Amino acid sequence: MPVKIDKPSDLNQNLEVRRKTMFAVVLTPPNAGLDADSLRLSVVSFGVPKIAIERLDLPIQNTVIHLAGIHKGFDPVDMICRDLIGKDIFKSLLEWFKLVYNPETGVVGSLITNKYKGTGQLMVAGPDGADERIMDLEGVFPEELTPGDTMKVGENAEVQITCKLSIDNVIVK
């Protein structure tokens, strides 16, 4: 279907781009020990979940037809947070990670009850803060937790925590 443009000025309206800095992440882990507001304010970067399916190739005579296959699932995303003084973000994330795997006891979280899975939202806003695109994140849990980068004498860089999050489902609104 061709696009109909009534007048040239229509091209200049509402064509502002979204910026990578206009986002917020809200995570709701199953344990009450994680301060969601402090975590939201400490997030430096958050990977965007890729939505994809596997393509099926169906050979028919001398050609191949492509069909939609099964959902591939979602690759883990990296969340990078500032290590804040006064609000121990690492300790909060570690408490959540201990529900998945407790390094002190060697106990892995229950596969049946999923008591270690939380929910979340990734919100990306337009330039004026409106026109939000919201992604609901379901079945979220940390699968890796790194308390910082290589420590270096004489460097004044902030300590950043990297948390690789597994996500079961993403619903884009």
pLDDT at residue 9 in the model: 54
7 in a structural domain? no
Amino acid residing at 85:
I
By percentage, how much of the chain surpasses pLDDT 70?
Answer: 85
Whether 70 maps to a domain, the answer reads yes
Q: What is the pTM of this model?
A: 0.78
Region 72-95 average pLDDT: 86
Domain extent, residue 158, equals 17-46+53-172
Q: How does residue 126 score in pLDDT terms, banded at 50, 70 and 90?
A: confident
The reply to whether 9 falls in a domain is: no
- Report yes or no on 85 lying in a domain: yes
Q: Are 143 and 165 in contact (CB under 8 A)?
A: yes
Question: Looking at the domain assignment, is residue 64 inside a domain?
Answer: yes
Q: What is the CA radius of gyration of the chain?
A: 21
Contact 39, 28 (CB under 8 A): no
Q: At CA 143, angle to CA 19 and CA 114, rounded to 5?
A: 110
120, 163 Cβ separation under 8 angstroms: no
Evaluate whether residue 131 is within a structural domain.
yes
Length of the chain in terms of residues written: 173
Return the top range by mean pLDDT from 54-63, 81-90, 107-116, 145-154: 54-63
CATH number at residue 83: 2.30.110
